Structure 1
Amino acid sequence: MLLHLVDFNISKDDLNDFFGGPAFLAWARMGNLHGWGGPLTQNWLDQQLALQKRILSRMLELGMTPVLPSFSGNIPAALKKISPSANITKLGNWNSVDAKCRWSCTYLLDPSGPLFVEIGEAFIRRQVKG
């Protein structure tokens, strides 16, 4: 997801605020928190990419059909400013203690809108390209 969001003018700082650290990525991917325990280092990202390529290669060697994730619509808040006409919904807080919106403030892009399709297609193209 990281590489294709850069294509949509999301800055590195915006991505650092969006992606949680390695121990919190599952929560971040569910849209429950943003930026907690991060940012992710470039070295970590590079290692993860190499690891994923090895895993996929081995799955194919074993005759397995990999099933990769798609774009869910969970987006950095910065996309609201970059694409103000997009239909973006801010979900309610589930932990009102943190004023920095680390544990809340999930933004979802409307799946019926053209930007969702554009980002989703870019996401899949990057996965297929490797």
Structure 2
Amino acid sequence: MMKYHTRKWIKPEDLNPNGTLFGGRLLEWIDEEAALYAIIQLENPKTVTKFMSEIDFRSSAREGDIIEIGIDILKFGTASLTLTCQVRNKMTHEVIIAIDKIVMVSLDENGKAIPHGKTQKEFAKDRL
């Protein structure tokens, strides 16, 4: 089940000339959210985006809307973590964008992929 982690409030600086949410801004937020999620899961701050599948813009958001970014794990690879993402309007739950696959890769200090040893979702609270 998709868990929604981050909420964003659409402000004037987030809009395109049509007065709706600029897709590039939304993709920036998604990429950051996926990176933070993967870094926390893999416990490696050197985790980067390798791949994003096609991006399906389903609806838009306007100034003043509150959106939320949902991320879930599809699978653990040897050095990678494959995520899925959905962004929706917080109030109406209408889907704004869906990305089937985002592949994040764990790197060593030389920028080479390294095995992360993880096989299942972990919650930070359980590590403490």
TM-score, normalization: structure 2? 0.24
Q: Which has the higher strand share?
A: 2
Q: Which has the higher helix share?
A: 1
